[in-house]
A and B are shown apart, each in its own frame.
Chain A
């Protein structure tokens, strides 16, 4: 009987296994691809709150926050190689209710970003001619990327390597076209164009949430842990190189935009990098940045579809939501029901028309996940002290990165409170109501034995249990 049960579990886990095809380059593309769009738009709103210098300080301070989050999630992700990223970590470290909330927050973070990306593609195309309709291109972007994700992760992320690579090169082309390296010939006039720190330290606090735009989503690399050929190698290398790419890109973006556009104009720009390219008056650079903006949006939406569907699939597989979403495509081995279910939700969010509100809810969801990630790291190190388990990567200087993560996330939420307190209250109310639904209704269907199956077979008994 025991043997039959074991065989059944093995067959079930084999049947539900995702293909292991991803290497470090794919992980880099998944992380940077989702985030690179933040360099092309959105970050400049930090100038409204904190001025030019405030936006730069926010960019670097948020860089520290994301270094911490990448180190922490990579350490835990390399030990828990299961689809769902922070969701899978919450599952084993905090329990079903926290896992349900983290999963839901991840899905909303990525679905809303996906909707925003597709809408921006439509808006950018509209600048070409008044005859261009945004709607068919928005729908086409979402449908085409959903179709790609439906047909396989490898092809999807290979496309992201190309899209992200080209978009990043366009930023480099813009940087070198300004001849920043030559004091005489440089087009950049940082001293004349920037406005310093007009609102002091409070301005910097307010700019923090927009500093997040440069990096928001890089932590999503751990969502593909289960699909890596070698999780211990691909995850740390892909995530860390991705973060370094973003910090360099973010600094170059601020430098170029702040040197080419006056602070007032830059703060109100919808496409800061594209506007900066126009200020160079070089047709080739302008065309390249137009293409770069669209490709960055497509790469971001592509990565968001992959991340959100993985989190939704993982929740369904653990019966936290109806398990009808926990089915893989018989031919492509992708979570096709989760991918298709999230498509109309992304379209619906996009067409509320409240883009800033949608994106703010996405950032709020991410920040709440970061707070829980910090708590998880403390618990992880307590349950599995150094030497008790093989780690693919070890976050150095613990508990400093975790403490920094918690302090900076709380500071960002405090800064967000000044302009978006209604969003914070509504978001918290939404997750509270979802938790009530889970505790009263859904938890009755939770199959705790299958919920812990994978972890129990892969992880040793934690210390003190």
Chain B
């Protein structure tokens, strides 16, 4: 396996990692927001 083929795989891996981190953070923020608005609604 050549150097550039390894680098291509590393680039794909980094793409997946960043995408996962972005999605995870958005899910966390939006869940917190929904929970907060529900609590405010109850009060």
The judgment on whether A and B are partners is: yes
Which chain A residues have a beta carbon within 8 Å of chain B's beta carbons? 128-129, 131-133, 136-137, 139-140, 143-144, 146-147, 150, 329-331, 336, 340
B29: chain A residues at CB < 8 Å are 329-331, 336
Binary CB contact string for chain B from 10 to 28 against chain A (1 if under 8 A, 0 otherwise)? 0110110011011001100
B11 to chain A, nearest CB (A): 4
Given contacts A131-B2, A131-B5, contact A336 B18 (CB under 8 A): no
Task: Tell whether A150 pairs with B14 under 8 Å between CB atoms, given A131-B4, A330-B32, A336-B29.
Answer: no
Nearest A residue to B11 via CB reads A136
B29 to chain A, nearest CB (A): 6
Q: How far is the CA of A150 from the CA of B19 in the complex (A)?
A: 12
- Residue pair B4, A140 in contact (C-beta under 8 Å): no
User: Is B8 engaged at the interface, CB distance under 8 Å to the other chain?
Assistant: yes
B18 nearest in chain A by CB position: A143
With A147-B22, A150-B22, A336-B29 given, is the CB distance from A132 to B8 under 8 Å?
yes
Report the minimal beta-carbon distance from A462 to chain B, rounded to whole angstroms: 38
In the complex, which range does the number of interface residues on chain B fall in? 10 to 19
Q: Which residue of B lies closest to A144 (CB)?
A: B18
Chain B residues near A136 (CB-CB < 8 A): 8, 11-12, 15
Query: Given the complex of chains A and B, what is the CA–CA distance between A267 and B21 in angstroms?
Result: 43
Residue of A nearest to B5 (CB): A131
Closest to A133 in B: B8
Measured CA separation A137–B10 after assembly (Å): 10
Known interface pairs A336-B26, A336-B29. Does A129 touch B4 (Cβ–Cβ under 8 Å)? yes
Please give, as numbers and ranges, the residues of chain A lying within 8 Å of B26 by CB-CB distance: 336, 340
20 A–B contacts from the bound complex (CB under 8 Å): A129-B2, A131-B4, A132-B4, A132-B7, A136-B8, A137-B11, A143-B15, A143-B18, A144-B14, A144-B18, A146-B22, A147-B18, A147-B21, A147-B22, A150-B25, A329-B29, A330-B32, A331-B29, A336-B29, A340-B22
CA of A131 to CA of B4 in the docked complex: distance in angstroms?
6
Q: Give the Cβ gap from B22 to chain A, nearest Cβ, in Å.
A: 6
Given contacts A136-B12, A336-B26, A340-B26, contact A128 B4 (CB under 8 A): yes
Q: Point out the residues of chain B lying under 8 angstroms from A137, CB to CB.
A: 11
Tell me the smallest distance from the CB of A225 to a CB of chain B, in Å.
Answer: 26
CB A150 to nearest CB in B, in angstroms, measures 6
Q: Interface residues of A: mostly helix, strand, loop or mixed?
A: helix
Determine the distance from Cα of A24 to Cα of B32 in the docked complex, in whole angstroms. 36
The 9 closest A-B pairs by CB, nearest first: A136-B11, A131-B4, A143-B18, A136-B12, A133-B8, A129-B4, A139-B15, A140-B11, A147-B18
- Residue among B4, B14, B15, B29 with max Cβ neighbours from chain A (10 Å): B15
> A331 — which chain B residues lie within 8 A by C-beta?
29
Are B8 and A143 in contact (CB-based, < 8 A)?
Answer: no
Residue of B nearest to A332 (CB): B25
Residue of B nearest to A136 (CB): B11
User: Hey, which chain A residues are within 8 Å of B15, CB to CB?
Assistant: 136, 139-140, 143
B4 neighbours in A (Cβ, 8 Å): 128-129, 131-132
Having A136-B15, A139-B15, A144-B14, one finds 4 other A-B pairs with CB under 8 Å, namely A128-B4, A129-B4, A143-B19, A336-B29
- Interchain CA distance A129-B4 in the complex, whole Å: 8
User: Which B residues are in CB contact (< 8 Å) with A129?
Assistant: 2, 4
Q: How far is the CB of B40 from chain A (nearest CB, A)?
A: 14
For A131, give the chain B residue with the smallest CB separation: B4
Q: Which single residue of chain B is at the shortest CB-CB distance from A143?
A: B18
Distance, CA A329 to CA B11, complexed state (A):
27
A141 to chain B, nearest CB (A): 10
A133 to B11, CA, bound (A): 10
Q: How far is the CB of A139 from chain B (nearest CB, A)?
A: 5
| Shortest Cβ distance from B21 into A: residue | A147
Contacts of A146 in B (CB 8 A): 22
A140 contacts B21, C-beta separation under 8 Å: no
CB contacts (< 8 Å) of B18 on chain A: these are 140, 143-144, 147
Residue of A whose beta carbon sits closest to that of B13: A136
A44 to B21, CA, bound (A): 40
For B3, what are the chain A residues with a Cβ–Cβ distance below 8 Å?
Answer: 131
Kindly state the separation between the CA atoms of A417 and B40 in the bound complex, as whole angstroms. 57
Residues of B within 8 A of A329 (CB): 29
B5 to chain A, nearest CB (A): 6
Residues of B with C-beta under 8 A to A131: 2-5, 8
Q: Return A159 CB to nearest CB of chain B, in Å.
A: 15
Q: What's the Cα separation between A281 and B32 when bound, in Å?
A: 58
Interchain CA distance A319-B22 in the complex, whole Å:
26
* Complex Cα gap A463–B36 (Å): 45
- In the assembly, what is the distance between CA of A340 and CA of B32, in Å? 18
B4 CB to nearest A CB, Å: 4
